[in-house]
Amino acid sequence: MSARRTSSNSSNPAGGGKVITITSGKGGVGKTTATANIGAALAAEGYKVCCIDGDIGLRNLDVVMGLENRIVYDLVDVIEGRCKLRQAMIRDKRLPELYLIPAAQTRDKSAISPSDMVRLCDELRAEVDYIIVDSPAGIERGFRNAIAPADEVVIITNPEVSAVRDADRIIGLVEAEQKGPAKLVLNRLNASMVKRGDMLAPEDVLELLAIQLIGLVPEDENVIVSSNSGSPIVLDEKSRAGQAFRNVAKRLTGQEVPFISMDADDGFLSRLGKMMGRGG
């Protein structure tokens, strides 16, 4: 266990590390990007972290984290008893406290059940401070598997009609599973489009979804640049998306962090600050 461990992440009923599931409903909104970056940011803060790729059959977290060449065993191997938990945990190249359990590529979601995920995560809790589960898109088995072990659910959405609609549906399902209230990360914001009235503003999305916001991530070319080389963007000090994901990670540990400005003279962040009862 790391020295930075706080009481907030040891207060869950099962004891030990905390399970945070990243989900969205709609595909392609940034779940895998968020998982890799929140995981790396928490590890950079000194926590011991294990990311789990829950997208069985469409393995991707390994390439986003740059660990694809180190895979020997996967999630289904652990669950079916072909290897020990530790053997399936791939250690990150840069952050020694960061691990990945990759998805199986040649199986499908029915290879594991929600109770398998609960059992696996309960075992992992004894090893790490945070377990970040990357959920597949949709509301089927893969989603059920991903939220079953969750102590906390983070919903990623984009400022678009269909993504917000799907996020709302997921929020309802998470509540129905007694896993709520979920928290929101709004990804791929384009400040100039918001300004000219051609993109939903964060305050609009919050008013519609009525859940707690824990991240505003700008559209940033560097996200793609960093995914090309398999290096998390949170390690790039200058990137604004990296800064935004570092802030998400801090808020998940219970720190109060003001929302970063997407633009020097925008009014909406101060309005948002008022709405949420905290500065900036």
Cα–Cα distances in Å, from 165 out to 138, 146, 189, 213?
13, 20, 17, 16
Beta carbon of residue 163, minimum distance to another protein (angstroms, whole number) = 10
Beta carbon of residue 28, minimum distance to another protein (angstroms, whole number) = 18
For position 29 contacting ligand ATP by CB under 6 A, the verdict is yes
- Distance between CA 243 and CA 222 in Å, rounded? 12
Question: From the list ligand ATP, Mg ion, another protein, none, which binds 196 (C-beta under 5 to 8 Å, kind-based)?
Answer: another protein
Query: From the list 9, 24, 231, 247, which residue makes contact with ligand ATP (rule: CB under 6 A)?
Result: 24
For position 200 contacting another protein by CB under 8 A, the verdict is yes
For position 167 contacting ligand ATP by CB under 6 A, the verdict is no
Beta carbon of residue 210, minimum distance to another protein (angstroms, whole number) = 5
For position 194 contacting another protein by CB under 8 A, the verdict is yes
Nearest CA-CA partner of 101 in 113, 111, 91, 112: 91
For position 37 contacting Mg ion by CB under 5 A, the verdict is no
Looking at beta carbons only, is 115 or 212 nearer to another protein?
212
For position 204 contacting another protein by CB under 8 A, the verdict is yes
- Distance between CA 211 and CA 223 in Å, rounded? 26
Looking at beta carbons only, is 126 or 139 nearer to ligand ATP?
139
For position 109 contacting ligand ATP by CB under 6 A, the verdict is no
For position 197 contacting another protein by CB under 8 A, the verdict is yes
x/- letters, 33..62, toward ligand ATP (CB under 6 A): x---------------------x-------
Query: From the list 9, 21, 32, 247, which residue makes contact with Mg ion (rule: CB under 5 A)?
Result: 32
Question: From the list another protein, Mg ion, ligand ATP, none, which binds 208 (C-beta under 5 to 8 Å, kind-based)?
Answer: another protein
Q: What is the 3-state secondary structure (H, E, C) of the chain?
A: CCCCCCHHHCCCCCCCCEEEEEECCCCCCCHHHHHHHHHHHHHHCCCCEEEEECCCCCCCHHHHHCCHHHCCCCHHHHHCCCCCHHHHCEECCCCCCEEEECCCCCCCHHHCCHHHHHHHHHHHHCCCCEEEEECCCCCCHHHHHHHCCCCEEEEEECCCHHHHHHHHHHHHHHHHCCCCCCEEEEEEECHHHHHCCCCCCHHHHHHHHCCEEEEEEECCHHHHHHHHHCCCHHHCCCCHHHHHHHHHHHHHCCCCCCCCCCCCCCCHHHHHHHHCCCCC
Query: From the list 139, 208, 224, 225, which residue makes contact with ligand ATP (rule: CB under 6 A)?
Result: 224
For position 164 contacting another protein by CB under 8 A, the verdict is yes
For position 168 contacting another protein by CB under 8 A, the verdict is yes
Structural contact between residues 149 and 178, judged by C-beta atoms closer than 8 angstroms: no
Residues binding another protein (CB under 8 A): 160-161, 164-165, 168-169, 171-172, 175, 194, 196-201, 204, 208-211
Residues binding ligand ATP (CB under 6 A): 24, 27-33, 55, 137, 187-188, 217, 219-220, 223-224, 227, 241
